[in-house]
Structure 1
Amino acid sequence: MKRKVQQLGSSTLGVTVPADWVRHHGIEKGDELIMQRDESGGSLLLVPEDPTLTDEEATVDADSLGADALERAIETQYVLGRQLIRIAGTEPLTGPQRDAVLSAERWLMGLGIVEERETEITVRCSIAPTDFELATLLGRLYRTEATMRRDALTALREGDAAATERVIDRQSQVRKLFYLFLRIVFATYRNPRLNRAVGLDTGFPLIGYRSAVQDIVLMADAATEIAALVRDHDVSALDEETAAHVDALADALDTAAEATRTAVVTPDYDTTCEARTALESVDDHVAEVNGYLRDRRPEPLLVLQRAVDMLERSARHTRDTLAVATHLAFREDPDLVTAE
């Protein structure tokens, strides 16, 4: 909709807001509104001082959804910030449908069943967006992924079956943290007053944080694939020389991932340069390991080649995250670029 800008005083301009929006939020004369500027596009987000969020509850139509679709629907409503989700139908819920609800309850953090009937189950989320800071959650995700990667490489180096199981088990933890992160990002986008509560000065980093978290999840997937390779091929311990090459690559990737995390959480141009240098070292180690595998052909060669591919893929995801950190750094240091 369009609004005409009006002259309200000698140096004051104003626009009206839609009447239905005013009624929806119960806004009256003298109430304060919050404006948040989109620093990349220049648009304004306007919200009431106390937003009226009438969609904190949702009902999922169980009659129309099978078990898999039902679990995805609960997942979606959780990310959208619903506090109360009813799964209801006209017919009794099937066993697979009830199992889907229980599965969602297990891996969506803070979700719990509060009422259960023959045709309906109600779940509630006990977590508020202000319970966590985004940087803290981001750090937890990075540490979890780094632990998974180290365990996966321990399993590869030593043929350690227990380490493979630890990696696979932690995948659910990454999933929990990922969807919790999305829930908080969405809530903060809708209500800019939460910026400070989740550790941000403005909402500008939200999209960048979302991208960084997706990269972490993809890196965790790569670690899980390495663990599955070890398990499925019943890998024995590597010889000393091969293990040394794998360890050198792993250490370089650890350094680059940690430097990139620092650049995202505390963005400045120097930290992004350090992370970029660390990633160049990873590239060198990848080339070195690939050359070693090509020339010496140690066993299990196929598993080693695929594991190196997975580590190289993790390095690419780290580089994508570094691009996000670089954007944040240029925003934090306006002296680097002057807009005209």
Structure 2
Amino acid sequence: MKGSDLRIRRKAQQLGSSTLAVSVPAEWAQYHDLTKGDELIVQRDENGNSLLVTPDQPAVEDVETTINADAMSTDALSRAVITQYVLGRGLIRIEAAEALDPQNYDAVLEAERRLMGLGIVEETTNHITVRCSVDPDDFDLPTLLGRLGRTEATIRSSAVSALLDGDADAARRARNRGSQLEKLFSLFLRLVFTTYRNPRLNQAVGIGTGFPLIGYRSAAQDVSLMAGIADDIATIATERVTEPLDDPVADDVRSVHDALDTAAEKVRKAVIDPDYELVTDARTSLQRVEDHSTAAIDRLEKERPEPLLALNRVHFLLERSARHAGDTLDVATHLAFRESPDVVRQDST
């Protein structure tokens, strides 16, 4: 459908004594090959204020998107491929007016390396076509969110261990693990956008319609941000901490990290299994992170061990990570209220 047709006014028509009917746009009906008698699925949003109408069997096309390589730098071309992947495109064609240069080809290979299920299916001197073989039925968002969280926890634990030991090589290995999380996160976003366009996939990806899809997107973003913070800690361990930390200092870092690790896992479980008791337990665990962090920072200010600035930075980063976990807990809280009518009841006024 054309962009100008995205918002169309329709009048409700009376059918019988108690039924109202609204026509659908002709182009939309033609696109989905709808005829008289075909079934449509009508879904309402969380508050019952809006209705979403989809065909029972929506049209599924292996949509091809074309990217003009002549108009982009190497980095921009790689990002463009990744963006089209995230938006759910099945085929992505990269073309040049004359011939693709080696940098263009390298950019496509870089995007292929960073994305799951993407591969080159056709190649000539002036174009490359890549296809994504990921099917929404192959994954579900709760499982992917768990994998994202465990990957972030592994990166963070490895970075903190390298910091405690003053092991720059281990810190570099921790940083290298970030590429796997990027793959999972891009795949997660692809499933979110694909499901948003075709709500019938909600059951396939393992969540309900409306807010859960938005909430899962937010939770995954928080995990990605936490992974970025873990990478910053690994960078500090690589560049600024060259010797093992003294025991009291190491114990403080370890206590904050362990509390964060426990809290982050409980927060993810509360999102995946919305339950008010799990939310309350996760909130208590996050409070423990804050308590350990406050005690550790107070000790740094009193004893001022070296490298002081690096250690302050590490504790600041762990606090930031805990705040992102707190943002995810807000999502879990909303989901728990949504799933627990005995906790919150809505009455019309």
- TM-score, normalised with respect to structure 2: 0.94
1:47 aligns with 2:54: yes
Question: Could you report, residue by residue, the CA deviation over 1:185-222 in whole angstroms, capped at 9, with x for unpaired residues?
Answer: 11111111111111123343011000001100110011
Q: Which moved more, 1:168-177 or 1:34-43?
A: 34-43
Residue number in structure 2 paired with 1:308: 315
Aligned mates of 1:162, 1:106 — CA distance in 2 = 23
Which of 333, 338, 343 lines up with 1:336 in the alignment? 343
Once the two structures are superposed, the pairs formed by residues 51-66 of structure 1 within 5 Å of their partners are 51-54=58-61, 56-66=63-73
How big is the shift at 1:236?
0.8
Q: Is the 8 A contact 1:57 1:83 kept in 2?
A: yes
Matched letter for residue 121 of structure 2 = V
Q: Is the 8 A contact 2:163 2:241 kept in 1?
A: no
Residue number in structure 1 paired with 2:99: 92
Q: Is the 8 A contact 1:63 1:91 kept in 2?
A: no
Tell me the secondary structure at the aligned position of residue 334 of structure 1.
coil
Residue number in structure 1 paired with 2:278: 271
Aligned mates of 2:47, 2:257 — CA distance in 1 = 36
Residue number in structure 2 paired with 1:113: 120
Q: Which moved more, 1:52-61 or 1:66-75?
A: 52-61
Aligned mates of 2:315, 2:40 — CA distance in 1 = 53
How big is the shift at 1:5?
1.3
Aligned mates of 1:41, 1:230 — CA distance in 2 = 51
1:124 aligns with 2:131: yes
Aligned mates of 2:119, 2:275 — CA distance in 1 = 41
**What stretches of structure 1 of length at least 5 have no aligned partner?**
none
Aligned mates of 1:40, 1:308 — CA distance in 2 = 41
Aligned mates of 1:308, 1:234 — CA distance in 2 = 14
Q: Is the 8 A contact 1:105 1:111 kept in 2?
A: yes
Tell me the secondary structure at the aligned position of residue 259 of structure 1.
helix
Q: Is the 8 A contact 2:45 2:209 kept in 1?
A: no
Tell me the secondary structure at the aligned position of residue 45 of structure 1.
strand
Q: Which moved more, 1:310-319 or 1:69-78?
A: 69-78
Aligned mates of 1:268, 1:9 — CA distance in 2 = 43
Residue number in structure 1 paired with 2:161: 154
1:143 aligns with 2:150: yes
Aligned mates of 2:143, 2:167 — CA distance in 1 = 31
Aligned mates of 2:170, 2:240 — CA distance in 1 = 14
Tell me the secondary structure at the aligned position of residue 204 of structure 2.
coil
Which of 174, 182, 200 lines up with 2:181 in the alignment? 174
Q: Is the 8 A contact 2:62 2:90 kept in 1?
A: no
Moved over 4 A (4+): none
Which of 79, 84, 87 lines up with 1:80 in the alignment? 87
Matched letter for residue 301 of structure 1 = L
Residue number in structure 2 paired with 1:36: 43
Matched letter for residue 227 of structure 1 = A
Question: Could you report, residue by residue, the CA deviation over 1:103-131 in whole angstroms, capped at 9, with x for unpaired residues?
Answer: 00101110011122111011111111111
Residue number in structure 1 paired with 2:25: 18
Residue number in structure 1 paired with 2:198: 191
Question: Could you report, residue by residue, the CA deviation over 1:30-79 in whole angstroms, capped at 9, with x for unpaired residues?
Answer: 11111221114621111111212446211111121221111111111101
Matched letter for residue 259 of structure 2 = A
Q: Is the 8 A contact 1:195 1:203 kept in 2?
A: no
Question: Could you report, residue by residue, the CA deviation over 1:216-268 in whole angstroms, capped at 9, with x for unpaired residues?
Answer: 01100111001101111242101111111111111111111011001100011
Aligned mates of 2:312, 2:241 — CA distance in 1 = 16
Alignment length (residue pairs): 340
Tell me the secondary structure at the aligned position of residue 338 of structure 1.
coil
Aligned mates of 1:218, 1:176 — CA distance in 2 = 14
Q: Which moved more, 1:158-167 or 1:250-259?
A: 158-167
1:206 aligns with 2:219: no
Which of 100, 103, 107 lines up with 2:110 in the alignment? 103
How big is the shift at 1:300?
1.7
Q: Is the 8 A contact 1:235 1:300 kept in 2?
A: no
Matched letter for residue 117 of structure 1 = T
Aligned mates of 2:37, 2:207 — CA distance in 1 = 28
Aligned mates of 1:46, 1:315 — CA distance in 2 = 40
Tell me the secondary structure at the aligned position of residue 342 of structure 2.
helix
- TM-score, normalised with respect to structure 1: 0.97
Q: Is the 8 A contact 1:215 1:321 kept in 2?
A: yes
Question: Could you report, residue by residue, the CA deviation over 1:138-195 in whole angstroms, capped at 9, with x for unpaired residues?
Answer: 0000000001111111011111223212221111111101110000011111111111
Tell me the secondary structure at the aligned position of residue 121 of structure 2.
strand
Residue number in structure 2 paired with 1:255: 262
Residue number in structure 2 paired with 1:6: 13
Matched letter for residue 123 of structure 1 = V
